Amino acid sequence: MDKQIIDLTETDALLERSVTVTIDVDIPAKWYQRKRTVKKEFLVKPLRLAQQKRISAALAKVDVNVFNDENTLLKVYDKMMTEHYEDLVYCIGVLLTENARNEPSDELIDIIKTSVDNEALNTLWAVMVKQINPAPFLNGIILMKGIDLQKMNPKT
At 66-83, the pLDDT tens digits run 767 767 888 888 888 888
**Segments in the chain below pLDDT 50:** 1-6
Q: Distance between CA 19 and CA 22 in Å, rounded?
A: 10
Hey, which residues does 25 pair with through a beta bridge?
A: 38
Question: Global pTM?
Answer: 0.69
User: 130: left (phi > 0), else alpha (psi -120 to 50), else beta?
Assistant: alpha
Per-residue confidence (pLDDT) for residue 148, from 0 to 100: 65
Q: Phi, psi (5° rounding) for residue 34?
A: -90, 150
DSSP characters over 111-133: HHHHH--HHHHHHHHHHHHHHT-
